[in-house]
Homo-oligomer: A and B are copies of this chain.
Amino acid sequence: MPSTRLHVALIGAGRMAQTHAAVLATLPGVRVRAVCDPREAAARALAEPLGAAAVTEAARVFDDPHVDAVLITTPTPTHAALVTRAAEAGKHVFVEKPVAATLEEAERVVAAVARAGVACQVGFQRRFDPAYVEAKRLVDAGELGALEGFRGVSRDPAPPPLAFLRSSGGLMVDLGIHDLDTARFFVGEVREVYAVGSVQVEPRLKEYGLFDTAVATLRFDNGALGTLELGLRTAYGYDVRAEILGERGRLHLEMDSRLHLRRYDAAGGSFVRPRGFEERFFDAYRGELLTFFACLRAGQPVSPDAADATKSLQLALAAQRSLETGSAVAVATFREGVAA
């Protein structure tokens, strides 16, 4: 398929880039042309097995006329500028969540992407997990009737380094945004959020006004109610769940057991659980890139796009504000820096 081969560049060579690179190596018709990271060794380590060039300057990627699309996995504060530059260079963009660090930046990204006429998909991979895809089909087909409730749970096995936590925008923006995006994906927009947090895992977070554990209530525009539970440490592996309630039923999304294997011994019955996001969502990471490139080839719009992701960001920022202030926050009118 030489005529449809797409050339991509990775910008960022960290953990998420590695996850995406593992997928890219298996995608027919996609070739990684370059990996860009200021840490040259990291760029090279990722580039070599892919037969790609390792570069340290993003300009090298943007100026390369053979690059069709870029995958941006750099730290959140750099997202807005990089997406904008990519769009201006006419490159299609796949960018990790959140689309930008602030609402204002996100809106500028939306505008830049629209101006350039490029595609910009944001990395909410859960939407591409086979179970979420089927759940969405059922919801859209009306199998649940009117939607009435939602539950989202995300618990990571272990907290990231303190430095990362300090720059990540907070628990709601870094972790909770996945569940909040899922809530929007299935049920619709959230009108009001109330969150409370605690520090139970990493005591040093207290100095920074940050939290490693949080719960929240959600009130949706359509009247549905929801809850959210977040944590940065479990003994028992990766714990991501979602429930969607409707007048006619309930859908329950959970990878409880990792393998199709149960073990029985003197302790009773047991099963192995997923230990991290790569294990839980490998199919989803694959699905989101497969879909991204399929849309590029077919000239169809990507989803979730920057505008959609901006709404998830606004919701996450509102939730983060509630977490920090102890007050319910109205989402639609929430602007950072302005009291809710």
Cβ A251 vs Cβ B255 within 8 A? no
Q: Of all chain B residues, which has the CB nearest A233?
A: B247
Given contacts A151-B229, A248-B235, A249-B236, contact A259 B130 (CB under 8 A): yes
Q: Does A216 contact B (CB under 8 A)?
A: yes
User: CA separation between A222 and B254, bound complex, in Å?
Assistant: 29
Q: Does A26 contact B (CB under 8 A)?
A: yes
Cβ A236 vs Cβ B198 within 8 A? no
Q: Give chain A interface residues in 104-145, CB to chain B under 8 Å.
A: 129-131, 134-135, 138, 143, 145
Since A196-B219, A198-B225 are in contact, a sample of 5 more A-B pairs with Cβ atoms closer than 8 Å, ordered by chain A residue number, is A196-B225, A213-B225, A235-B246, A250-B264, A326-B328
Which of A138, A249, A263 is most buried by chain B, counting CB atoms within 10 A of its CB?
A263
Can you list 14 A-B pairs with a CB-CB distance of less than 8 A? A26-B27, A129-B260, A146-B200, A149-B231, A194-B194, A216-B217, A217-B227, A234-B264, A235-B247, A236-B249, A236-B266, A248-B265, A252-B261, A254-B262
Cβ B194 vs Cβ A217 within 8 A? yes
How far apart are A249's CB and chain B's nearest CB, in angstroms? 3
- A187-217 vs B: 1/0 string, CB under 8 Å? 0000010111110100000000000011111
Which of A131, A146, A192, A234 is most buried by chain B, counting CB atoms within 10 A of its CB?
A234
Q: Could you tell me how many residues of chain A have their Cβ less than 8 Å away from some Cβ of chain B?
A: 78
Residues of B within 8 A of A2 (CB): 51
Q: Does A159 contact B (CB under 8 A)?
A: no
Cβ B213 vs Cβ A196 within 8 A? no
Shortest 5 CB-CB contacts between residues of A and residues of B: A249-B265, A236-B264, A26-B26, A131-B261, A270-B270
Given contacts A130-B259, A148-B213, contact A236 B265 (CB under 8 A): yes
Q: Of all chain B residues, which has the CB nearest A223?
A: B198
User: CA separation between A145 and B235, bound complex, in Å?
Assistant: 10
Which of A135, A145, A246, A265 is most buried by chain B, counting CB atoms within 10 A of its CB?
A265
